[in-house]
Each structure stands twice: as structure tokens, then as C-alpha cells.
Amino acid sequence: MNRLLNGIGAIRHLALAATVTLLTACAHTVSVDGEFPAPVGDPHPLSVGVYLSEDFQQFTYSENRDDRDEWNINTGRAQKNLFETVLGSMFQETINLAQYPSNLPQGLDLVIVPEVRELQFTMPRETRVNIFEVWIKYDMHAYNQQGDSVAEWVITAYGKTPTAFLKSQEAALAQAINVALRDAGATLYTGFERVPELQAFIANKQRALTMKQTGDNE
């Protein structure tokens, strides 16, 4: 009799566990928390303010489609780390701004404000390729001290990771996002000078510095 009661108890526990698993199986939460290396290279001769909005710092991509499970992907902390690290090494002076456009420190050449435009991802079973893929698109804005737009450009980043062998889908996706963020940092760093307006802005600044140096020497 005791055995029968024990058996029924075990079945109840099993059923409960199965129900909980089924209910939670359809919702996935990913929190990406990456650290990124500082870029190696010469800094641009600019004094730059960087404003990362609250939305940007806490960015969470949510998706709940009929043909997919529910996904909540938080990339805010990782992209804050990335932009602070990369932009912090890109210029002669970088100031992280707590607010914008009010209370701007004097002497800034540019204020850079990034925004997430889009995030997309694919899973191995959707593409039939054993790879998790992530695309992130950023809108980049550069303003002068007066708040006028100097340049607007787009950064696209791509990251992939091999199939999640012995790894959860969430961990594999987080790894792919970290790869995409590294790619975003590389594009930001190497592509900054290729934006025509910024190229002209840096050239003007360099010319002004050269003239000032010549004047000082005379």
C-alpha cells in the first residue's frame, strides 16, 4: 500500500515538473554581459562627449511571434561597456555625459549619441545551418556644441557562433551577441574616419591645431 502511495506521489511530482517545464519552455531570457578590449591605434585629436541614454543602457529586445518562442534579450549592459570602452580610446579626450543636451561641458568638439535601430537573430533550426546568427544595427548621431547635427551614420554588426553543442540556446545566443558587439566596436573604430562629414571635421580640427602650433612657435 505504501509503495502504491509512493508511486502516486512520484507521478504527481513528475506531472508538476512536466507542467512547469512546458509553461517555461516557450519563454527565453538572455542577458548579455560582455567586457571588451580597448582598441589599439592613434586617437583622433578631438574632445568628445558620449551620451548613452537610459533606453540604450537598459536596451531589451523583446519578440513574441506566433512562429517562434518568446524571447527577451537584454544587451544594454554589454553595449554600454562596448561603447564606453571603444569611444573612450578613440579620441584624445572622452567625457561620458549623464544628460544631453542640457549642462554640456565647455570645449567639446562633438557629442556622440548612439541608438539601437534593430536587432535580429536566427536559430540553427530556422536556417538549417549549425550556427546562431545575430545582426544589430545602430544609428549614430554626432552633434556639435550648439546641438546642430554634424553627421549621422549607421553601424551594422554581425555575430555568429557554432551550434549550441552541450550549451543552452540562451548561452549560444549570448555568445553570438557578444561577437556581434565586438564587430560593432570594430566597425565604429575603423569606420569613423570614413564618414565624409566626420572626415572633413577631423581634417578641419587638425588644420586648426597645426595653425595654432605654427602661431605658438612664431
Q: Which residues bind another protein (CB under 8 A)?
A: 36-42, 129, 131, 158, 160-162, 182-183, 185-187, 189-190
What's the closest the beta carbon of residue 135 comes to another protein, in angstroms?
12
User: Quick one: 22 or 40, whose CB is closer to another protein?
Assistant: 40
> Cβ of 1: how many Cβ atoms within 10 Å?
5
Backbone angles phi, psi at 56, to 5 degrees: -70, -40
Contact present, 126 and 71 (Cβ < 8 Å):
no
- DSSP E strands in the chain: the ranges are 27-31, 44-51, 60-63, 70-74, 91-97, 110-122, 131-143, 149-162
What's the closest the beta carbon of residue 190 comes to another protein, in angstroms?
6
User: Quick one: 109 or 183, whose CB is closer to another protein?
Assistant: 183
What's the closest the beta carbon of residue 148 comes to another protein, in angstroms?
30
What's the closest the beta carbon of residue 137 comes to another protein, in angstroms?
15
| Residue whose C-alpha is closest to residue 82's, from 170, 159, 167, 151 | 159
What's the closest the beta carbon of residue 39 comes to another protein, in angstroms?
5
Three-class DSSP category at 1: coil
User: Quick one: 111 or 177, whose CB is closer to another protein?
Assistant: 177
Please state, in angstroms and rounded to a whole number, the distance separating the CA atoms of residues 91 and 84: 12
As given in the structure block, the three cell numbers for residue 212 are: 595654432
What's the closest the beta carbon of residue 110 comes to another protein, in angstroms?
21
Contact present, 61 and 71 (Cβ < 8 Å):
yes
User: Quick one: 100 or 158, whose CB is closer to another protein?
Assistant: 158
User: Quick one: 121 or 143, whose CB is closer to another protein?
Assistant: 121
User: Quick one: 111 or 172, whose CB is closer to another protein?
Assistant: 172
Cα 137 to Cα 6, 106, 134: the distances in Å are 56, 31, 10
